[in-house]
Amino acid sequence: MFCPDLKFQTGGKSYAIKQIKESAMTKTLKLEDQMNPENTLDLLPHLPTINDSRLASPAMVNNGVMQPENPSPYEVYQRLSASIESVMRGQKASTRLLIAALASGGHVLLEDFPGTGKTTLAKVLARSIDADFKRVQFTPDLLPSDILGVSVFNQRDQSFSFHRGPIFTNVLLADEINRASPRTQSALLEAMGEAQVSVEGERRELPSLFFVIATQNPIEFRGTYPLPEAQMDRFAMQFDLGYVTLEHEVAVLTAQQKKHPVESVTPCVNMHDVLRLREAVQNIRVSEELKHYVVKLVTATRTAPGVLLGASPRGSIALMKTAQALALFDHHEFVHPEHIHEIVVATLAHRLVLEPQAKFSGATARGVVEEILKQVPVPG
């Protein structure tokens, strides 16, 4: 039996199926290398497709489409953005912020009303990366050891062995983090700040790629515990998703009519691609004038009327690094003031603690940061 010539690519070479011969006992496929006609391959018993692991790792295949190896940092951003937006309709701005936090080495806190897609956004990002992913559902009875791990006594060896908790992963989803007690919430402090955990007097390093996506419901909902200031300061940014437009919500209904689209998401980048993205973000230039501008914005939060506690130097670092990520996403070699303006509310507002009188008068942390942005002059 003969079939028409077919073509496919793998390993940087192009091949064509020249002839297929089948019999009751054997099946031999001969492929001719178009780059070198004398080079032929005999593959038994079948011709692998692009989904075959022998041709490409999962990180090279996305929805059945072969992706080139070693993508550039900008291509990594494009792949992640396209993968997330294929599920999260009408959330382009939120997707951009989430990937900016990932690329800058920070962590994200998503706060919004139930059912707006916070958990789905985190799951889509995790599924888009060929890396280890763990999810912890925070509940009032959750203990720190349920996150960090615990030592278990082995009667056979008469010794203790440490069983690692879910925090030893690349991407951690802390779902509804404000439903756990402050004691349990504090288990993440060292991990998020120093990429390590100390258990029973021993320091244990976390993976080089460690990214926390936490979700929470507004504190006015019942059964929640506000995150302490030290915990809030560990998050590079906090933002909400909000409700999408009518057209986008109709598209959501159509996409989930048979099954959830997140189930079809496959890895489009691997862990090393993300680490190269982070390295590229660090190489984006920031002028001395913009560094002073960042510090002035953060310093102004500490003296603003009605503010009890302003942003810390950690906020300055987060603002600069996330602005570098946005500059890379825009194909710029250096940071512009517009990148700082785009990210300043998401990186600073959640770090502020307002005085009770200011809260009663209707002031918000977001409003304070926006007013500061108007007052501090932009460098020329």
pLDDT in tens, 73-108: 999 999 999 999 999 888 999 999 999 999 999 999
Helix (H) or strand (E) holding 277: helix 271-282
Q: What would the pLDDT profile of 220-278 be if each residue is shown by its tens digit? A: 677 788 888 888 999 999 999 888 889 999 988 988 888 888 888 899 999 999 999 99
**Is the predicted pLDDT of residue 32 greater than 60, yes or no?**
no
Last residue of a domain, one of 277, 301, 328: 277
Please, which residues bridge with residue 30 across strands? Answer: 19, 42
Helix (H) or strand (E) holding 198: strand 196-199
DSSP 3-state of 8? strand
Starting from the edge strand earliest in sequence, which strands make up the sheet with 27-33, in order? 6-10, 13-22, 27-33, 40-43
Last residue of a domain, one of 227, 250, 277: 277
Find out whether 185 and 233 touch, Cβ atoms under 8 Å: no
271 inside domain: yes
Domains identified in the chain, total number: 3
> In terms of domains, do 148 and 200 share one?
yes
Distance separating alpha carbons of residues 343 and 327, to the nearest angstrom: 11
Q: Where are the alpha helices (DSSP H) in 129-174?
A: 145-148
Q: What angle do CA 167, 172, 174 make, to 5 degrees?
A: 95
Find out whether 197 and 167 touch, Cβ atoms under 8 Å: yes
> In terms of domains, do 306 and 163 share one?
no
> In terms of domains, do 337 and 267 share one?
no
53 inside domain: no
Q: What is the mean pLDDT of residues 336-344?
A: 96
> In terms of domains, do 267 and 380 share one?
no
Distance separating alpha carbons of residues 31 and 38, to the nearest angstrom: 10
**Is the predicted pLDDT of residue 132 greater than 70, yes or no?**
yes
> In terms of domains, do 269 and 312 share one?
no
Q: What is the mean pLDDT of residues 204-232?
A: 87
- pTM over 0.75, yes/no: yes
> In terms of domains, do 226 and 329 share one?
no
Portion of the chain with pLDDT greater than 90, in percent: 60
> In terms of domains, do 174 and 256 share one?
yes
Q: What is the mean pLDDT of residues 111-134?
A: 90
> In terms of domains, do 250 and 360 share one?
no
Q: What is the mean pLDDT of residues 357-368?
A: 93
Q: What would the pLDDT profile of 134-190 be if each residue is shown by its tens digit? A: 999 999 999 999 999 988 888 888 888 888 999 999 999 999 999 999 889 989 999
Last residue of a domain, one of 249, 277, 305: 277
1 or 241, which is more confident? Answer: 241
Which structural domain, as residue segments, surrounds residue 175? 58-277
Q: Are strands 40-43 and 61-62 parallel, antiparallel or unpaired?
A: unpaired
